[in-house]
Amino acid sequence: MTGHSEHVLPIELLPDSAEVGSDGQLLIGGCDLADLAEQYGTPLFVYDEDQLRSRCREAVDAFGDGVAYATKAFLCRAMARLAHEEGMHLDVASGGELHVALSAGVPAERIVLHGNNKSDDELNRARSAGVGRIVVDSFDELDRLERLHAADGVVPKVLLRITPGVEAHTHEFVMTGQDDSKFGFGLNVGDAARAVERAQASPAVELVGLHAHIGSQVFVAGFFEQAVEALAPFVNECGLPELSIGGGIGVAYVEGEQAPSITEWGSVVRRAVEAAGITARVSAEPGRSIAAAAAVTVYRVGTVKEVPGIRTFVACDGGFIDNPRPALYGSGYETFLPRAITAPRTETVRLVGKHCESGDILVAEARVPEGLVVGDLIATPVTGAYGRSMGSNYNLLPRPAVVFVSGGRARLVIRRETDEDLLATDVG
Ligand SMILES: *Cc1c(COP(=O)(O)O)cnc(C)c1O
């Protein structure tokens, strides 16, 4: 693409296949966003399917066999199949995610089960399906696995989740590697060593490795180096064949942010692993870095309210049920008008949703071109991870549809919810 000035939407935040159409409108995967909005309605998640595939391949190249897509970032059967087809394993963190991955046809041995409080039912479903790995998080879980084993004799391969005592600088809600964490066996308090001893002696599990996940939206690959260094003496002492360093590499959400690529993250980890003399097979579990930047969310503007001298509120037909990240973490996003992708964004408005809450803000300082009117489409890039998957049905707004686009064609992978869906579980 050429002809963009500095003030235009930062094109690197758009999906790889983004291009400007003959009328100055945005195309993704060769599809005009306005046509997609017309056909599938709004709000609408539009994923660049080729980008999802290329990020999965990049992860496999960077980490090799065993690298898993963290499905909590975004999951549906099409996504599960896509990640599987591109050679990734799937990391699931609940019985529900396990169910979707299995129903997509992903072989159980390519699935890894996580969770800090897995139920008997979740453990049993995973064990009887024959998942590849269960990442054991606590002594209570070891108790539970032993009880279940006594009943059926099934022996799953497990990793132990270790909390390395590394504070990756990210939002405290997504920081998970510090000693004060609900996750895993603390390295510094000696729980990690006790857990290894216990798992090795237990007939209920086959201990094959260790796991650590230091957090999410981590911008500095060096924190992974610190985690590897912190873990190395213990990993080497245990001499287990596998080590997963979890997920967590960050992505850029707003102009000017810089994040390492999956490839760069992989090389930093590989160098640290070599320097520390770790011989275990090292893998990872990226979620956000696979899915986030592949999607944009398209909304329709319904109301524009100017408060003189204060600000202009632009209300769209979605809200924090399709993207809770701004409300949860104060996250920023960019905005653009799909009909005028190259227009300089000279005005600042507040993009809000339609929920009965003042905290229902999608973009607090949204830059838009002049001339935005009711009926316009407005879109936010980098919404492919932890948006729809973290969403809710608050105000009983039906959840948006999801389309995958590629080579000029769109396919619906999750249809929009209907009012009937809202009654599907209501048995009163
Ligand atoms: C959330 C999570 C991931 C994925 O994190 P991203 O930031 O999306 O890459 C991987 N592993 C575990 C254990 C997680 O909890």
179 and 273 co-located in one domain = yes
Atom of ligand 1 nearest to the CA of 161: 13
Check if 211 has its Cβ closer than 6 Å to any atom of ligand 1.
Answer: no
The helix or strand, by DSSP H or E, that contains position 135, with its residue range, turns out to be: strand 133-136
User: Would you say residue 80 lies in a domain?
Assistant: yes
Atom of ligand 1 nearest to the CA of 211: 13
337 and 411 co-located in one domain = yes
Distance CA 39, CA 69 (A): 30
User: Would you say residue 73 lies in a domain?
Assistant: yes
202 and 300 co-located in one domain = no
Check if 165 has its Cβ closer than 6 Å to any atom of ligand 1.
Answer: no
- Asked if 343 and 26 count as a contact pair (C-beta separation under 8 A), the reply is no
User: Would you say residue 114 lies in a domain?
Assistant: yes
- Asked if 117 and 96 count as a contact pair (C-beta separation under 8 A), the reply is no
Looking at 292, 317, 340, which one is the last position of a domain?
A: 292
Atom of ligand 1 nearest to the CA of 68: 10
The secondary structure of residue 336, as a DSSP letter, is B
Q: State which residues form the domain around 364.
A: 2-48+293-423
User: Would you say residue 379 lies in a domain?
Assistant: yes
Looking at 292, 318, 338, which one is the last position of a domain?
A: 292
Closest C-alpha to ligand 1, atom 15: 213
Dihedrals phi, psi of 206, to nearest 5 degrees: -110, 110
Positions marked catalytic: 356
User: Would you say residue 373 lies in a domain?
Assistant: yes
Looking at 245, 267, 292, which one is the last position of a domain?
A: 292
User: Would you say residue 206 lies in a domain?
Assistant: yes
* Mean pLDDT in order along the chain per 10 residues (428 residues): 43 89 95 98 98 98 97 98 98 98 98 98 98 98 98 98 84 74 93 98 98 90 90 95 95 93 96 96 97 98 97 97 93 95 94 93 96 97 96 93 98 97 94
42 and 58 co-located in one domain = no
339 and 192 co-located in one domain = no
Check if 339 has its Cβ closer than 6 Å to any atom of ligand 1.
Answer: no
Closest CA to 344 of 28, 3, 5, 15: 5
- Asked if 402 and 43 count as a contact pair (C-beta separation under 8 A), the reply is no
Number of residues assigned to the chain = 428
pLDDT at 173: 67
306 and 403 co-located in one domain = yes
Number of structural domains (the chain) is 2
Check if 288 has its Cβ closer than 6 Å to any atom of ligand 1.
Answer: yes
Which of 72, 117, 331 best tests ligand 1's pocket when mutated (most atoms within 8 Å of CB)? 72
139 and 252 co-located in one domain = yes
Tokens of 427: 């048995």
Distance CA 161, CA 269 (A): 18
74 and 222 co-located in one domain = yes
pLDDT in tens, 80-115: 999 999 999 999 999 999 999 999 999 999 999 999
pLDDT at 7: 38
Distance CA 254, CA 59 (A): 23
Distance CA 35, CA 17 (A): 17
Three-state secondary-structure class, residue 185: strand
User: Would you say residue 428 lies in a domain?
Assistant: no
21 and 122 co-located in one domain = no
pLDDT at 180: 83
The structure's pTM equals 0.95
Instruction: Read off the amino acid at residue 61.
Output: D
Check if 384 has its Cβ closer than 6 Å to any atom of ligand 1.
Answer: no
Check if 177 has its Cβ closer than 6 Å to any atom of ligand 1.
Answer: no
User: Would you say residue 282 lies in a domain?
Assistant: yes
Which of 161, 213, 220 best tests ligand 1's pocket when mutated (most atoms within 8 Å of CB)? 213
Q: What is the CATH number of the domain that holds 40?
A: 2.40.37.10
338 and 313 co-located in one domain = yes
155 and 301 co-located in one domain = no
Find tokens 């001499």 and name the residue: 239
390 and 355 co-located in one domain = yes
Helix %, strand %, coil % of the chain (to 5): 35, 25, 40
∠ CA 221-222-225, rounded to 5°: 105
Find the 72 Cα to ligand 1 centroid distance in Å: 8
